[in-house]
Chain A
Amino acid sequence: MRVLLGLAIVAVVAVLWPEAASACASCIASRGEEVATAFIVTTGFLTFLPLAMAAGFFWYLRRRLRKLRQLAQ
């Protein structure tokens, strides 16, 4: 139980303070604030773009399914 608690604390620290844990490659590799911001923005962009595309695709499928059902009725 103590080990688990310890691991959980380490995980929380790593998530909240990535620089302290040296867990954020972009924070360490970047030179200057502008580059660090660019790293963070592009990481967000690359993370959310596929999710947005998948969401858009399922939204289109749902719309098309409704249309086909209406035509069938």
Chain B
Amino acid sequence: MATRSYGSIRIVAEARREPLIPSAVMGMLIFVFLEAMMFAGLISAFAIIRSGAAIWPPPGQPRLPIEETAVNTAALLLSGVLLFLAHRRFQTDRASAQQPLIFSILLGVFFVVFQGVEWVALIRQGLTLTSSSLGSFFYLIVGMHALHAVIALGLLGYTLVRLRRGWLAQSQLAVAEVFWYFVVGLWPILYGVVYL
């Protein structure tokens, strides 16, 4: 508590300390840690099943689209870069953060839609959830990631709305960033483990 006197007026102000990490960001970090462990478990299970298989991919199963997904991976990584740019701009001129944020969301949407198209093609070729261990793990791991991507895109969309209305706080942007960077950072690992 700090007090200061200006003539007959006495001002009493409570000294507020800035938290080391905003509570919302801390909550998101804990959530992301938990999700990282869940994906680590899935990756481990997949690695053990794959190492035990004599032939991989299992006979009669299609080859995963490596080249097309590489393009999709690049789009997702670019989306992460654009979000970082939005963060930098937000610190200096809030309004200028809109453009990179919009493009970041659009690239994220492109990634999810492209994945959907890829899934339809793979199902037509015979790779289903029950066709083989590859199919089971592919749809489980990639599907879980896609689910996270969709939820993160919703959060980014909400962040954009708040930014446009001028209500966005730094910590709210940071929450969306943590989740999106997790989705973006995890994907190259999944691509390397599942596709390659």
Chain A: residues with CB nearer than 8 A to chain B?
A: 30-32, 34-35, 37-39, 41-42, 45-46, 49-50, 53, 57, 61, 64-65, 68
Knowing A53-B33, A68-B20, the reply to whether A46 touches B48 (Cβ < 8 A) is no
> Of residues 48 to 82 in B, which have CB atoms within 8 Å of A's CB atoms?
48, 50-52
Q: Does B23 make an interface contact (CB < 8 A)?
A: no
Closest to A44 in B: B44
Interface contact B47-A38, CB-CB below 8 Å: yes
Interface contact A41-B47, CB-CB below 8 Å: yes
Interface contact A65-B20, CB-CB below 8 Å: yes
Contact of B52 among A31, A49, A50, A61 (CB under 8 A): A31
Knowing A35-B48, A53-B33, the reply to whether A45 touches B21 (Cβ < 8 A) is no
Interface contact B44-A50, CB-CB below 8 Å: no
Interface contact B37-A49, CB-CB below 8 Å: yes
Q: Does B41 make an interface contact (CB < 8 A)?
A: yes
Interface contact A35-B44, CB-CB below 8 Å: no
Interface contact A42-B33, CB-CB below 8 Å: no
Knowing A49-B40, A53-B33, the reply to whether A61 touches B48 (Cβ < 8 A) is no
Knowing A42-B44, A61-B21, A64-B20, the reply to whether A35 touches B29 (Cβ < 8 A) is no
- Report B-chain residues with C-beta under 8 Å of the C-beta of A46: 37, 40-41, 44
